Amino acid sequence: MGFPGTWMTESETLVYRVIPKCACSTIGQVMHYIDHGTYFDGDIHDATSGIHKWSLDHSKPRLEAVISAGQTFTFTCVRNPYTRVLSAFFDKICGIQRNGRRYRGKLVPLLIQKYGITVDGDFDQIASFRRFLLFARDTIRFRRPMDPDIHWSSVAGHASTLVHGGARYDRIISTENFQEGMKDILKQIEVKHEIDIDKMPRFNESSGHGPKRAHPVEDYFDDLSMHLVREMYHKDFELFKYDIDDPSNKMPIAEIDLDEVHAKLKE
């Protein structure tokens, strides 16, 4: 199985399990900067040098050796399930991607035909999002009309692959407390180039892809929508300590218990 979705600094000082829609672009740029003193020119997801990635053939042996040895600081970053799935909708369903096309080609026409979603013009964001949630639930629970996409499949599912590979997280931070968490991680390792987390740019690669959210987060979730979110992401709420009953509260409500996380992710 290996360690899919992992990135590592070329200096082999830091290992990161990528979780989509959880500050992964910014984290990748931090990793690039602390090794090279510059940010990658472009979307860090497109980088084929300057950072090790499991998806790159030349990186796999180093990643496997380093992660299996268990001596390198290893972390990931999580996000509130309510805001994460909402972000996935606006970015991947409503937005035009950086290649100038809709995400996954025929996906949006499929959603228009089968779920009645509208994404053009001055559309009803709340109604279309709630229909998207039905689709997302169908992909996660029934794997139809397609397998779940990485951008709305559960955070726990992503995080579990590293644990199933026999590795362990030293720290799990949240996007909601990103600056504090990232600063703490960088204190644990030696870096070639110091970086000011408070002053660095935010590399939100999905920014501008889709329309701006017109309403507060909680307005998108009625009783049925909250039920669907709980059905899809109950383990994310439990393990990463988010408020399952209040979509308006994006902040974690307790400290993450790493022992609990590793025990539950092994199941």
Percent of the chain with pLDDT over 70: 98
260 CB neighbour count, 10 Å cutoff: 12
What does the pLDDT average to over 221-248?
Answer: 98
DSSP code, position 82: H
| Tens of pLDDT, residues 10-23 | 999 999 999 999 99
Q: What is the mean pLDDT of the chain?
A: 95
- Give the relative orientation of helices 155-164 and 223-240 as an angle to the nearest 10 degrees: 30
Query: Which residues are CB-neighbours of 68 under 8 A, at least 6 positions away?
Result: 165, 166, 167
What does the pLDDT average to over 212-221?
Answer: 96
| Predicted local distance difference test score (pLDDT) of residue 206 | 63
Helix (H) or strand (E) holding 78: strand 73-78
- In the sheet that holds 73-78, the strands lie side by side as 51-53, 6-9, 14-17, 73-78, 171-174
What does the pLDDT average to over 216-237?
Answer: 98
Q: What are phi and psi of 224, to 5 degrees?
A: -65, -45
Report how far residue 14's alpha carbon sits from residue 8's, in angstroms, rounded to the nearest whole number: 6
Report how far residue 34's alpha carbon sits from residue 9's, in angstroms, rounded to the nearest whole number: 8
For 226, the token pair is 């909250």
What does the pLDDT average to over 127-145?
Answer: 97
8 Å CB contact between 87 and 81:
no
DSSP code, position 44: G
Q: What are phi and psi of 192, to 5 degrees?
A: -75, -35
| pTM for this predicted structure | 0.95
What does the pLDDT average to over 15-33?
Answer: 97
| Tens of pLDDT, residues 91-109 | 999 988 878 888 998 999 9
Q: Of 192, 247, 241, 257, nearest to 215 (Cα)?
A: 247
Residue 209 falls in which region: left (phi positive, over 0), alpha (psi -120 to 50) or beta: alpha
Percent of the chain with pLDDT over 90: 90
| Predicted local distance difference test score (pLDDT) of residue 207 | 59
3-state secondary structure of 9: strand
Q: Is the pLDDT of residue 58 over 90?
A: yes
Residue written as token pair 């829609």: 21
| Tens of pLDDT, residues 146-187 | 999 999 999 999 999 999 999 999 999 999 999 999 999 999
